[in-house]
Amino acid sequence: MMESEVHFCNSCGEQVGVDANGEVFVACHVCYYPICKACVDYEISEDRKFCLRCCTPYEDNRAKDNGDTKVSENRSTMAAQISNSQEVGSLHARHALNVSEASRELNDESGNPIWKNRVENWKEKDKKNKKEEGAKIEVPTIPPAQKMEEIQPSEADAAEPLSVIVPIAKTKLSQYRFVIITRLIILSLFFHYRITHPVDNAFGMWLTSIICEIWFACSWVLDQFPKWYPINRETFIDKLSARFEREGEPSQLAAVDFFVSTVDPMKEPPLITANTVLSILAVDYPVDQVSCYVSDDGAAMLTFESLVETADFARKWIPFCRKFSIEPRAPEFYFSQKIDYLKDKVQPSFVKERRAMKREYEEFKVRINALVAKAQKTPDEGWTMQDGSPWPGNNPRDHPGMIQVFLGHSGAHDMEGNELPRLVYVSREKRPGYQHHKKAGAENALVRVSAVLTNAPYILNLDCDHYVNNSKAVREAMCFLMDPQVGRDVCYVQFPQRFDGIDRSDRYANRNTVFFDVNMKGLDGIQGPVYVGTGCVFNRQALYGYSPPSMPNLPRSSSCCCCPSKKPSKDVSELYKDAKREELDAAIFNLREIDNYDEYERSMLISQMSFEKTFGLSTVFIESTLMENGGVPESANPSMLIKEAIHVISCAYEEKTEWGKEIGWIYGSVTEDILTGFKMQCRGWRSIYCMPLRPAFKGSAPINLSDRLHQVLRWALGSVEIFLSRHCPLWYGFAGGRLKWLQRLAYINTIVYPFTSLPLVAYCSLPAICLLTGKFIIPTLSNLASALFLGLFISIIVTSVLEMRWSGVTIEELWRNEQFWVIGGVSAHLFAVFQGFLKMLAGVDTNFTVTAKASDDAEFGELYIIKWTTLLIPPTTLIIVNMVGVVAGFSDALNGGYESWGPLIGKVFFAFWVVIHLYPFLKGLMGRQNRTPTIVVVWSVLLASVFSLVWVKINPFVTRVDSATIAQTCISIDC
């Protein structure tokens, strides 16, 4: 257990306290396992003579403490609740009646469950370890931090780190922080001036502008302060190989299960999915440690048949990639590279084999395209397979679960006779009346299937359009996850998203460079980056809802809210969930660490029913959760495992379990990625941001205006759903204190940013109103006010410049991000806020279509496609209104004389700020650059001219003066 300022007892959850000498109470001087003195006395009274952590006799512990300190073992909460063997027997009897038929087959020849045999193997292994470590018990006390990992002293490089933090230069970072503090001070003075100098003749507009500016300032704080500790990281792949891949020995690298999810093959073309799968199967990693699971949530026969063709082509493609170290290993993107492919290639046969492989790939594409063409029209009787039987997924909303293993250790080999990674097709069962939870539900089904079939300790999930661009990406992640000094508390390693096929100027900020290169680096210095949905390597144990190994369980009385209710009736359910979580953690801890108990004592520590209520009715899956290092039982029958895998993807499997609540991908939002990462970090896990020089993964992005806005709408709606749920970072996860405050600010920013659309729309409308009414939101400026405004603008510019210095982003990328912040804010974010509240108040759900991944034949042809949608209305309205306001303002100035031009400058600059930010949107409406519709230009000029003439003649916003007032004025003048 890592040392901390406050130690909690692992039996009762209270603080350990101090001994008679005023020092932290230590129960066992060999393993330093934290347990309080009250629990020690209770354990000794129960006549328990051994420490469960290190199996050292209590008498030895007391002797080391000269009889002054009593020590005890860690007795789990579950063991405390099971008091006699009769109760245990009844629990296991009930379990035997509740398991599924497939689970009943998990017995060996003697009739014992496989998981019990596994426990016996652990017991024998533990006895051997105890004999070897018998001499080490007499060694002087070892600090607890060094007991986290067993390091073999014979390995010279065992303690060397596999990665290092590369800090940003102190000069850059200190300047950056100084400017942030300075900008805060200037903002305070600015708001003091604005609030104390109201504009009486335009009080409504002034008050609106003040509210908007205060909101913008708070948003800036939420966005800026999580960047307080930005860092870079560097990995050492060569050290990883030296430690875990020794010549002449089997590779010790951890296994990885890849997840690829797809829904609609018409919008997510099978050729794109096939390239993603091929890049995974050809990754630079031991073949026996790689498994690829493809989730077909649309149960399309087209996806299944395309995977059949992909598996066949992989037998030729994989040896070619490994022989010549091809990068990238997605054939479509490798053959389309406009580079010298002969560079660094010295094999004489390379050119010949490359040409042959390119011909093979072209034939593969023809076969895939033929399948797509065939699937354009569904037969009336439905699809049939090659053997004549109907396709089980003809009704995508009502079909059984389907699993097909294409490649693997016992399957086909490549053209050179070598083994291939496992490739598995999965389509979970769907029935009417069940909630399937879209992508999050599909990912959870893959978690269970992979646990039954391969059970790799790490999971890497990719979208179907994100291929592996760097074949060593998995090794990059393992430099963190397999490092004993770093990876113990890491729940996932997140890679940045990079994209192909985006226009050179990145008109709609599709690359999201500012987020991935600035914000995520800042989060990596706190508690880690947020999970962004793809390109992420997970620790499977973290997905199962466990706390980090270095942290004690939260006390049973803890709550997830900052202000827990005092009414017992509202706390019962939360206490029950916490108690069950403690039981599960305690049982798993004992299975991992306590291996000297006999079978009877072990049965007292495990309640199988507790596991079933958490993970579901599958003994195979439950057994897999107990294997921290992964793997499946050697005695398991493959056919039985397939049957059990079908069972765990049934549509009713998750009912009355913790799936989607505390385990796996979390339900409740269309952006399940943010919610899933947030729950993990609330438990105390941290994440890592890995940015290799060669991008690890690349994908495609919707580059036309309409699809881009729909994508942003989906993200924003997910954030609004989280804001309106119980998982809102404003109040969730305070009890344990495991989420750092700057990290909480970052999560708050991810769920409140859509609400910025309301003040943004108001603020973008103010320039036009000012120009039309002749009023302004700012009074006549004094010297002090001018200095404040100037200081504010300079601080904004300097902050951006310093961000560019330490992050490496360009000024164009920063500007594109700023522009699309306004475009998305006044369109997609605005709709997301209203749709989110409609869903909460009226139950009106919004169904989103999958964004098409195919592109036009011409380069960037999709960029100019305009699909009219209601999302285009608000930005178009703001552009027209501000342009009309500018025309009206100039008309008034021409009509009002010389003195009217001074006030006009500020108003026009304000309107120009809005128009220049919305310019990419306006350009998108115009279509192709060299094909701007003439009718648009003609009507724009005509409308502007007519409106300006009418404005000069009517001018309804100017106060009317009657003739009597004019006559009275003339009398008073001495002509």
Among 296, 414, 483, 673, which one carries the catalytic annotation? 673
CA angle 589, 591, 597 (to 5 degrees): 120
- According to DSSP, the β-strands at 458-463 and 490-494 are unpaired
Judge whether 227 is annotated as a binding position: no
Question: At residue 302, what is the residue type?
Answer: L
Coil, helix or strand at residue 851: coil
Q: Are 26 and 58 in contact (CB under 8 A)?
A: no
In angstroms, the Cα distances linking 67 to 27, 30, 61, 659 are 12, 16, 9, 48
- Quick check: is 673 catalytic? yes
Rounded to whole angstroms, how far apart are CA atoms 274 and 284? 18
Which DSSP state fits 596? -
Q: Are 701 and 508 in contact (CB under 8 A)?
A: no
Judge whether 438 is annotated as a binding position: yes
The residue behind tokens 């495990």 is 606
Among 297, 465, 483, 585, which one carries the catalytic annotation? 297
In angstroms, the Cα distances linking 326 to 52, 189, 319, 470, 646 are 51, 59, 10, 10, 37
Judge whether 505 is annotated as a binding position: no
Rounded to whole angstroms, how far apart are CA atoms 632 and 361? 36
Judge whether 489 is annotated as a binding position: no
Element (H, E) at 492: strand 490-494
Judge whether 775 is annotated as a binding position: no
Largest CA distance in the chain: 124
Judge whether 923 is annotated as a binding position: no
Judge whether 463 is annotated as a binding position: yes
505-540 burial code (b ≥16 CB/10 A, e <16): ebbbbbbbbbbbbbbbbbbbbbbbbbbbbbbbbbbb
Tokens of 394: 């003809």
- Quick check: is 297 catalytic? yes
828-857 burial code (b ≥16 CB/10 A, e <16): bbbbbbebbeebeeeeeeeeeeebbbebee
Beta carbons within 10 angstroms of residue 327's beta carbon: 17
In angstroms, the Cα distances linking 9 to 35, 51, 373 are 4, 14, 65
Coil, helix or strand at residue 522: helix
Question: At residue 493, what is the residue type?
Answer: V
Is the torsion defined by CA of 202, 208, 210, 216 positive or negative? Answer: negative
Annotated binding site for Mn(2+): 439, 463
Annotated binding site: 261, 267-268, 297, 438-439, 463
The residues annotated with a catalytic role in the active site are 297, 673
